[in-house]
Chain A
């Protein structure tokens, strides 16, 4: 109702302002940025502080802590605990197990892998889903039938079991289809599995939106101007899906990271010696009673990242779809007034 007098204020800048007003979301966005910076700093930390790589083993080595020599791994197989800066930053968080790898370095590199898989899988799934949804929703008929039934089929599969089976098969044998060749240890294996199984979750709601948008008169106007199907889909309908896509993409990064952690924990995701937060939990679980931090830390990192992404995603949805919110506010107000429809203005003003 209150139209801002300022010119050229587009939907995007309005949404940004609404997002920035949400303090909690901004704080968690900050946390996510910190996590990203943390994993990006992995090589810096490895080269300059820890002086070791993520997969370097130090089983029989000793380090000097406060002038005292200590075994990285005791003869009984117990890894060294967190040294903080006692050993000049070496084994900041201790060693990861019998192999004596630097836990801090692995945590940083593992986070890289986890985020990389999460973001790439979410990106692939979102692009695939949007294209399929546009085709299904715009052309309808048999195109829609084919796409929608395929997605329903994927949806109806027990995702984790199939993902696990497929993940193991790929992890063992790799994949070779024409020019596409994946070696057995490639991180593209989990990415592929995750993205295929997340497509329906994004495509279904977006297809519904495309169906509704195709009925709008601005689409007819574009056709009346001589625009073809591709123009209509990508230049008229797609911009209206942008807010949904952004929200889904954010939430799907979190979702994919959890999926990856699950697959990796069960041995179907990232393959040793490479680390991801999921594989690190697997390694840490074995030593849960002597060094609980080894399992808790990567778990905590996953939790914080997923939490941050979910809160940011929710806030983005609120900021990008103020009308959805306005409609809810209006409904609440309506109830508060005892159901008397006073001032029930259309949400569009």
Chain B
């Protein structure tokens, strides 16, 4: 539709993305003494309607990479192309219409919803900000979305503090979907939730993907969760991608030592099997 869109290009293509945070020190004038290489030359692509899992331990740069892709923080260097269009470093006004196409689901369902706003506002604000709907039409769309993510349309006038963690995450999902994006970046969407609720949320995301034709960039530190939902997996360690491939390939036949460690850390519900694995793999 958009003139700069290249029909053959992948939905999202990230090339050599770098984000360094300066460490400054100084008495009167700050000098840069060192850098934290949070993301250090990362490349991956996400095709229309597919899920790319991004795994790695905390501090490996996954969240920073997500935020740099969405231009929430300015990347140090590298290219981020959305439908073939370069978005790295473009201005806020140019970015605004593109924000409809890519949304984010956050890790902490308590910090990601403004406690002073009603649910209807939280989910409806994106529509209002982008000038898509207003008035009774806005209300109808929001209530429809709430029902779609497993909440009730009566929740429209409630405040976040009245909901549980799982319900709050559903509100976050409704907010991300309100703009009908093509790409949703899920930054550890289930790691703050109870295990029993994790499955519900993952399944909801799975259903919504089919229904809306969404592409996910799914970030998690638990490779077990990622394997369940992803088509392909990229493993990140210390700001770099150490291994990338189809979900089965990465999980069944890991090439990198770090991936093997991540797989070994997945808890096994059966204690006997768990004991066997540990006696086998630990030298």
Contact = CB atoms under 8 A, between A and B. Distances in A.
Nearest to A239: B116
A8 interface: yes
Interface stretch (B100-108, B245-253, B260-268): B100-108
A225 B130 contact: yes
A221 B104 contact: yes
Contacts of B72: 220, 223-224
Contacts of A222: 125
A225 B112 contact: no
B95 interface: yes
Nearest to B121: A235
B129 A227 contact: yes
Interface string A219-252: 0111111111001000010011010000000000
A8 B130 contact: no
B118 interface: yes
B159 A10 contact: yes
A348 interface: yes
B162 A3 contact: yes
Contact of A240 (B70, B100, B116): B116
Contacts, number: 74
Contacts of B100: 226
Given A11-B161, A239-B117, A240-B116, A220 B129 contact: no
Interface string B184-228: 000000000000000000000000000000000000000000000
Interface in A7-23: 7-11
Nearest to B98: A226
A51 B157 CA distance: 56
Most B CB atoms within 10 A — which of A4, A10, A221?
A221
Given A217-B106, A221-B106, A348-B161, A228 B111 contact: no
Contacts of A236: 114
A216 interface: yes
A11 B115 contact: yes
Contacts of A4: 162
A224 B116 contact: no
A218 interface: yes
Nearest to A229: B92
B106 A220 contact: yes
A8 B158 contact: yes
A10 B125 contact: no
B232 interface: no
Nearest to B100: A226
Interface string B137-179: 0000000000000000010011101100000000010010001
Contacts of B179: 225
Contact of A218 (B111, B118, B129): B111
Given A7-B157, A220-B72, A226 B96 contact: yes
B52 interface: no
Interface string A85-107: 00000000000000000000000
B118 A10 contact: yes
B112 A218 contact: yes
Interface in A170-225: 216-218, 220-225
A197 B118 CA distance: 37
Contacts of B96: 226
B41 to A, nearest CB: 24
B16 to A, nearest CB: 23
Contacts of A223: 72
Contacts of A8: 157-158
B67 interface: yes
A225 B116 contact: no
B81 interface: no
A221 B130 contact: no
Nearest to A348: B110
B10 interface: no
Contacts of B99: 224-226
A218 B113 contact: yes
A221 B129 contact: no
Contacts of A10: 118, 159
B112 A7 contact: no
B129 A225 contact: yes
A10 B120 CA distance: 13
Contacts of B126: 225-226
Contacts of B175: 221
Nearest to B118: A10
Contact of A239 (B106, B114, B129, B162): B114
A226 B130 contact: yes
Interface string B71-98: 0100000000000000000001001110
Given A7-B157, A225-B130, A242-B116, A220 B67 contact: yes
Contacts of B112: 216-218, 220-221
A328 B227 CA distance: 43
Given A223-B72, A226-B129, A217 B107 contact: yes
20 contacts: A7-B162, A8-B158, A9-B159, A11-B115, A217-B108, A218-B113, A220-B106, A221-B104, A221-B112, A221-B172, A222-B125, A224-B103, A225-B179, A226-B95, A226-B96, A226-B97, A227-B129, A239-B116, A240-B116, A348-B161
Interface of A: 3-4, 7-11, 216-218, 220-228, 231, 236, 239-240, 242, 348
Closest 4 CB pairs of A and B: A239-B116, A217-B112, A225-B126, A217-B106
Interface of B: 67, 70, 72, 92, 95-97, 99-100, 102-104, 106-108, 110-118, 125-126, 129-130, 154, 157-159, 161-162, 172, 175, 179
